[in-house]
Each structure stands twice: as structure tokens, then as C-alpha cells.
Structure 1
Amino acid sequence: RNRFEMPSFVATLSGLLALLGIQLYILGPSGSINLPFDSALVRFGQLMIIPTWLSYLLALTPGVMMVLGDFATRRRRNKANLSSMSPSVVLIKSVSLTAALVFAVYYLERGRGVPWMFGAFVLAVAIMDYALTRTKWGRSMFAVGGNAEAARRSGINVRQIRLTAFMLCSALAAMGGVFSAARLAASSIQAGTGDVNLNAIAAAVIGGTSLFGGRGSAWSALLGVLVIGAISSGLTLLNLSSSLRFMITGAVLAIAVIVDSLARRSRASHGRA
């Protein structure tokens, strides 16, 4: 609930209807606005490609940072006489991640290359991961999602955390809308309709984000995006009808929610919820 004690879903629906009205007013009678093809936004969305050498360098960076981060963590834990993860495990994870990223870059470079828009998206994911895992705000976000009353009793401003969560969701949705307009060189009434909302929810849940709150990560959500994208592309290549694609995607989402619910129940029974 918000400051006016209005249920969140009512506030969301009323806000959505109001914003849809504003959208219709801005788009005018034609229902669409075409962006100039030579504009900076369209060039960023359609023409700007990351140089090949930089693409491979960025693909190698996460694996190297994983090894260096583990080395620094190991030193701190050794000074505190604490056990650490086996170096071989970290090395295997690093090599696997690097191999996957290099292969992805190689595959994309066979075509046009890696767009700067995708690089900006990955950068946003990295910033969100850092904010959620390395800051006081991120820890408070997980605490409120897991148990709002316990978070309030521990001194966390629950209302402020919820407000920032809604603001952040809106800002990221707006960024997605800008990216979509840049990619299509137009904005229309049909933008954001269809299965976009379903796919967004499904990607987060399949990536491990709990609908009950308190669990999830930015990188896991990215993995969910890739899974949903692969499912959608595969079903399209099979030339299946839209009805079947919706049913299959919905079934995958339902299974993911059921698995999350069962896992949460299991953790609760073992005192780990």
C-alpha cells in the first residue's frame, strides 16, 4: 500500500490508464510518431556497433574480474582464519563464463556485430547488480521484500524503500521504451502491447526472482531474458500460431512460479526462509 492506503495494484492500474491517455494525446490522431532516421537516437539504436576488438575485450573482462575478486576475498578471509572457496571452482566458473561470452561475441561478429544499445543494457544490469549486492539500499531492498515487518523493526524505512523500488521500476521501463523507439525509429499506440508485459514478468521469474519477495539478482534476470528470447524465437521459427506461443510461454511461467513456491515452502520447513 502507498501513502494514501491505496492497494498497489489499484494505484498501478489507475496510473497506467492515465499514462495511456497521455500517450494518446501526445501521439495525436495518427497514433504514431516517426523519428528522423539521421537522429542520434535512431543511429544509436540501429547503426552504432561496438568495435570488434572492444567487444572481445569486454567479453574477457568479467572472467578476469571474477578471478581478481576471488583473490582479494581469499586474502581477507585468510587473515580472518576463515575458509574460502576452492581456487579450482572459481577458475572453472571463470573459464566457462569467458568461453560463453567469447562465443557469443564471435557469433554476433559474424553478422553486424555487437550493438552499443546491447552494451548499454548490460551496463545497466551491472549497475543494478552492484546496487543490489554492494550497497545498504540493496540490502534493505531484499530485507523489505523478505519480511517488511522485520525490516521495519530493524530500523529500515520500509515506505522509502518501496517508493524507490517503484521509482526505479518506472525509470527502467522508460529506458526500455526509449530503446524500443530507437530500434524501431518510431513510437506508436501498439508499442508495449502484446506479450511484452508477460515476457518481462516471465524473464524475472525464470531467472530466479521470487514473486513473494526477498530473492533474486540482476544477472539471473538477464539469464531469464535470454531464456524467454530463445523460447520466443524458437517457437517463431517453428511457425507456431500466436495462440500456441502464448500458451507455451504462460505454461513455462506457471511452472517457474510453482517451483519457486515449492522451494520457498521447503526453505520455510527447514527454518531457512
Structure 2
Amino acid sequence: MKSAAPLDRADVRVRHDAGFGGAIRGFIDRVRSGDLGSLPVVVGLAIIWTVFQTLNPVFLSSNNLVNLLFDCSTVGVISLGIVCILMVGEIDLSVGSVSGFASAVVGVLWVNSGWPVAIAVLTALAVGAVAGVIYATLFNRLGMPSFVSTLAGLLAVLGLQLYILGASGSINLPYGSGLVSLGQQWVMPHVVAYGLVLIAGIAYFVSGYRTATRRRRAGLTPPSIAGLLVRALVLTVAIELVAYYLNQDRGVPWMFGLFVGLVIAMDYALRRTKWGRSMTAVGGNREAARRSGIDVHGIYTSAFVLCSMLAALGGVLSAARLASASQQAGTGDVNLNAIAAAVIGGTSLFGGRGNAYSALLGIIVIQSIASGLTLLDLSSSLRYMITGAVLAIAVIVDSLARRSRVSHGRA
């Protein structure tokens, strides 16, 4: 007796792709309809690396890549918070000031007041959470646009940072302490790096296998287990090779491992939890989300709080990287790079589309540009111009892709 077709393949009028060829056709159809995913940033990153490696063979050396990963971690964590706030269609312009103030809080409490470093760091994170609650209250209760409230917060928090640092303007953190070593020296033992990559590959396969099982039980077409296994093997082997190459120098920084761990946790929360689906729904259509029973105010509050807390954590990591807390911390291009990384990585400015890996890919693009130009001994003015051009291209691609999704009924 012939088994019934899966529910999602019951309509014979619709083309149903199957097998390897079907996967390729489906990918091409998604790209044509504007569902680009991370494709543009991956292609752009390949071009950037090819150009800089051609101009200076030191660019892709293991030593330079290790330094690049250290530098990615600080602003990358801040950018991860920007992904959260962009997902609901809002913006936070104060992340740079919050990160600088958090670094100042750690310096004042730890060095000047003698508090334990762990308590000082937790206090800095709590300060970030308070800032997020204030922004959420202004937005939810008073209807103040996030652009205005966070712009005011940028100025207010910057003033607080200058005030608590006082006339000295900077505080040197104890060199050789655990926090500073995390930001400058600590790398994973080789076996730990290889083991973590292997665990991540196994987890990727298990997650996909569970998804396939749930779809089969629901009467839907499950993804190919063989294809899933091949993807898991290819990704695991590729990342293991990257870890091996980095281990030819110092190795994989623990600080970058912390950043990647936060990215993985955020990705799981956004894709696999009710909260994450609610974030996407609110960013896509606030009124429709409210009518479906979602606590819209609560979702906005969580987005603002997460954004500010991650900004504070990024400030702490930046202080560890520089071994100091100063009046310049969080100023300059921190805001620009954090927001640009999220957008360049693929998070939509229109809300409702994006993922945690946007922060990871975007900050690697930005730091690759900065590192390449530094190795070529070119002016920082070029870095600003090139980063601005890349950001403009990313927004144009996002806008065109959004129009294409609308015309193809995928928006």
C-alpha cells in the first residue's frame, strides 16, 4: 500500500524539490526571491581577505588572525546587543557610552575602592541593565522614540563616565590580573580548542536530527539525514582546520571563545524559544503580535535590557583588552562599528529579520578592514570611508532583498 504524501507535499500543483539537485534548486530560488541569508557577507569577506592577502602576505598569517580575533571580541559583544534591538525594529545609540561607563565602573570599584573584581564586573552589568530598563520605560510608557531616548542616554552616560573618572581621566588595571590576561594573553589549550569544535559539530547534527524527527512525527517532510551529516562533517572539519592554523601561533583566544559562546546561546534563544519567535513577530508587525497574545511591552523591555547589558559586558572586555579605563573608552567609532557590524552581517534595519551570527560575521568584516589597512600603513581616514561604503552597500542589498521578498510573497 502506497504511503500518504507528507502534508507539505500534498499539493501536486506545486513543485516539490527533493535530493541534492532539489536542494540546489531550492537555494537558487531563495536567492532569487531575496532570501539571501549570510551569502552577501560571506562573499564580501572572501573578497576583502583576497585583496588584503594579495597586497600583504602577512594578513592571513596565524599571528595576525589571532590578534584580529582578540579585537573582534570586544565590539562583537556590543554588536550582539545591537542585533537584539534591531530585531524589534528599534535602535540604541548609547551602546558606546554604556560600554565606556561600564569600564569606568570596573576601574573605580576594583582599583580605587578595592572591591573584588567579580563584584565590580557584576555591578557594571547591573548598571547596563538599569540603562536598558530606563529606555524601555520611556519607550513603552511615554512613547518616546528609541532614537531620541538613547541619544539622550549617550550624552548623559558619557557625562557620568567623565564624572566618576575625575581629573585623572584614566585608571590602569592591574597588569597580569585574570581580567587583563583574558583580554590580552589567555588562549585555549590546543586539545580544548579541538574538543570544543568537535562538540559543536555533534551538537549541530543532534539539533538537526531532532528537528527532522519532529517534522516526521508531524507528517511533514524531514530534511535529509545524509545531507545533515555531510554538512556537520564539512563544518566541523573546516573549523578544526582553522583552529589548527591558529594553534600554529598562540591559539584561539578565550575571549573570542566567550564571544562565540554568547553568539551560539543567542542564536538558540532567537530560533528555538518562544521569546525568540516573539522577538521576530514584534519586529515584523507589532500590532499583529499584540493581537496574537504576545506581551509586546515585555519583549521590548527584554531587547533594551539585553542590548545595554551586552554593551556593558563589551566595555568590560574592552577595558581588559586595553588594561585601562579611560575617558576615551566607548567614544570614537565604537557606536559606528557595533551598529555597522550587525547590519553588515545581515540584520535588517526594518526589524523582524536577522540572527546572532550577524554580529560575528559583521565584526570580522570590519576588523578585517581595519587590520588590513593597518598592515598597509594607510591612513585611518580610509578605514572610515571603506567601512561606510561597505555599510551603505549592506543597507542597499537589504532594501533590494526586502523588495524582492515582498514581490515573491516571502516578506
TM-score normalized with structure 1 length: 0.94
Alignment of 1:246-261 (within 5 A): 246-261=384-399
Superposed displacement of residue 115, structure 1: 2.1
Report the AA paired with residue 148 of structure 1: R
Q: Which residue of 1 aligns with 2:361?
A: 223
Superposed displacement of residue 4, structure 1: 1.7
**Residue 8, structure 1, aligned to residue 149, structure 2:** no
Distance in structure 2 (CA, Å) of the matches to 1:231 and 1:69: 34
For the structure 1 residues 232 and 186, does the alpha-carbon distance in structure 2 shift closer, same or farther, using more than 3 Å as the test?
Answer: same
Q: Which residue of 2 aligns with 1:240?
A: 378
Q: Which residue of 1 aligns with 2:334?
A: 196
State the Cα deviation string for residues 49-87 of structure 1 (Å, max 9, x = none): 222101111112222222222223333333333222233
Q: Which residue of 2 aligns with 1:56?
A: 194
Distance in structure 1 (CA, Å) of the matches to 2:140 and 2:213: 45
Q: Which residue of 1 aligns with 2:71?
A: none
**Cα contact 1:181–1:187 (8 A) shared by 2:** yes
**Cα contact 2:198–2:236 (8 A) shared by 1:** yes
Greater mean deviation of Cα atoms: 182-191 or 229-238: 229-238
Q: Which residue of 2 aligns with 1:92?
A: 230
- Which of 164, 169, 173 is the matching residue for 2:302? 164
Q: Which residue of 2 aligns with 1:47?
A: 185
Q: Which residue of 2 aligns with 1:137?
A: 275
Alignment of 1:72-151 (within 5 A): 72-151=210-289
Report the AA paired with residue 110 of structure 1: Q
SS of corresponding position for 1:120: helix
Unaligned runs of 5+ in 2: 1-138
**Cα contact 1:32–1:188 (8 A) shared by 2:** yes
For the structure 1 residues 4 and 95, does the alpha-carbon distance in structure 2 shift closer, same or farther, using more than 3 Å as the test?
Answer: same
Q: Which residue of 2 aligns with 1:187?
A: 325
Superposed displacement of residue 202, structure 1: 1.8
**Cα contact 2:190–2:251 (8 A) shared by 1:** yes
State the Cα deviation string for residues 122-162 of structure 1 (Å, max 9, x = none): 11111111111111111111111111111111111212211
State the Cα deviation string for residues 171-199 of structure 1 (Å, max 9, x = none): 00000000011111101111122222222
RMSD: 1.6
Q: Which residue of 2 aligns with 1:267?
A: 405
**Residue 178, structure 1, aligned to residue 353, structure 2:** no
**Cα contact 2:343–2:358 (8 A) shared by 1:** no
**Residue 30, structure 1, aligned to residue 137, structure 2:** no
Question: How many pairs are equivalent?
Answer: 273
State the Cα deviation string for residues 12-58 of structure 1 (Å, max 9, x = none): 11111111111011111111110111333213322332221011111
Distance in structure 2 (CA, Å) of the matches to 1:4 and 1:22: 24
Report the AA paired with residue 58 of structure 1: L
**Residue 213, structure 1, aligned to residue 213, structure 2:** no
Distance in structure 2 (CA, Å) of the matches to 1:255 and 1:206: 8
Structure number with larger C-alpha Rg:
2
SS of corresponding position for 1:33: strand
Distance in structure 1 (CA, Å) of the matches to 2:348 and 2:308: 19
Report the AA paired with residue 34 of structure 1: N
Superposed displacement of residue 88, structure 1: 4.0
**Cα contact 1:60–1:101 (8 A) shared by 2:** no
Distance in structure 2 (CA, Å) of the matches to 1:240 and 1:91: 45
Superposed displacement of residue 242, structure 1: 1.5
Distance in structure 2 (CA, Å) of the matches to 1:80 and 1:239: 59
Counting aligned pairs with the same residue, the percent is 67
